[in-house]
Amino acid sequence: MVNNPAEFGMLLGAHMSIAGGIDSSVDRAADFEMNALQIFSHNVRSWDTRELTEEEIEGFKKKREEFGVDYAVVHTSYLLNLASPKEDLWEKSKKGLVEEIRRAHLLDIPAINTHIGAHTGSGLETGIDRLVEALKEIETTDVFENSSVKVLLENTAGEGTKLGSDFAELGEVLDKLDYPDRYGVCIDTCHGFAAGYDFATEAGLEETLEEFDREVGLNKLDLIHLNDSVGERGLHKDRHTHIGRGEIGNEGFAAVVNHPDTRKLPFILETPKEKLDGIEADRVNLDKVMDLRE
Ligand SMILES: [Zn+2]
Ligand SMILES: [Zn+2]
């Protein structure tokens, strides 16, 4: 008998591959009895996006219903840089984000999750201005206006010149946008820990969430990426590892999955796809998270 997150009152799943068609991601999630799922909406190593087929779209929706995958989110392409000072990349990134919204809408997926970009040397404030300008332009598109897809901004580890490692930056960006209801935030525990926030203890989490509430607002928190961290706190290293096997550890994840402000949110694993003692790592990580749930 496999543990099922619904029995724990949780929305829990992982990022799953779309190889073989978007709808096959739901089969993969169902194999692990996940009730939440994150996908890419296309091959994210390329700017070219193949149009989704009617078969995939219908298959995706039907399978989600059939297998009880109650939550789904699209993770945008890593090629996007909405804060780029380079005109061509910035233009492509805006089009890219609109395309992600369009595809999520077609698939009945309520949200896309995106990294907010890197200033690549132009400076933090210039990067933020650029990002806000990009999002405001996106807000005027028919695709944005004719859908209700939410755009979730993900915190980062703060590697290089990436924006969004500081909750205050996310708050600043959100304050400047014109459709507050269409935006939310995703906290990635590995990224937050690498950026210096304490996710390893109950007291640390309490403090971290208080700061998030001050800078962004807990009502904006829509999604949690559950990833342990290979690197120590504050090292700005974005290296995910299995739940409980990194520097955040069991105590930290027990706090995250049980805290009254986070326990009802969807939890998505982005932990390495490999085998642990002969068992699929997704299975091991899902079981670990349910084990920590009170
Ligand atoms: Zn991400
Ligand atoms: Zn993440």
**Residue 46: how many other CB atoms lie within 10 Å:** 10
Dihedral pair phi/psi, residue 34, rounded to 5°:
-75, 145
Dihedral pair phi/psi, residue 40, rounded to 5°:
-90, 150
Report which DSSP code applies to 118. B
Tell me the CA–centroid distance for residue 109 and ligand 2, in Å: 18
For residue 270, the ligand closest to its alpha carbon is 2
When pLDDT is averaged across residues 214-241 and rounded to a whole number, the result is 97
For residue 14, the ligand closest to its alpha carbon is 2
- Note the pLDDT tens digit of each residue in 163-173: 999 999 999 99
Tokens 């550890």 correspond to what residue?
249
With a threshold of 0.95, does the pTM exceed it? Answer: yes
- Note the pLDDT tens digit of each residue in 67-95: 999 999 999 999 999 999 999 999 999 99
Going by pLDDT thresholds of 50, 70 and 90, the confidence category of residue 190 is very high
Element (H, E) at 70: none
Tell me the CA–centroid distance for residue 54 and ligand 1, in Å: 28
Q: Range of 48's domain?
A: 5-292
Cβ-contact 103, 74 below 8 angstroms: yes
pLDDT at 1 over 60: no
- DSSP string of 160-205, one letter each residue: TTBS-SSHHHHHHHHHT-S-GGGEEEEEEHHHHHHTT---SSHHHH
For residue 192, the ligand closest to its alpha carbon is 2
The residues assigned a catalytic role are 45, 75, 78, 115, 154, 188, 191, 225, 238, 240, 270
| Number of domains composing the chain | 1
- CA atoms within 13 Å, Cβ hemisphere of 44: 15
Burial class (CB in 10 A: 0-12, 13-18, 19+), 178: exposed
What residues flank ion ligand 2 with Cβ within 5 A? 188, 225, 270
pLDDT given at position 3:
78
- Note the pLDDT tens digit of each residue in 232-248: 999 999 999 999 999 99
**Residue 260: how many other CB atoms lie within 10 Å:** 7
Q: CATH number of the domain that 187 lies in?
A: 3.20.20.150
Tell me the CA–centroid distance for residue 270 and ligand 2, in Å: 6
Tell me the CA–centroid distance for residue 1 and ligand 1, in Å: 32
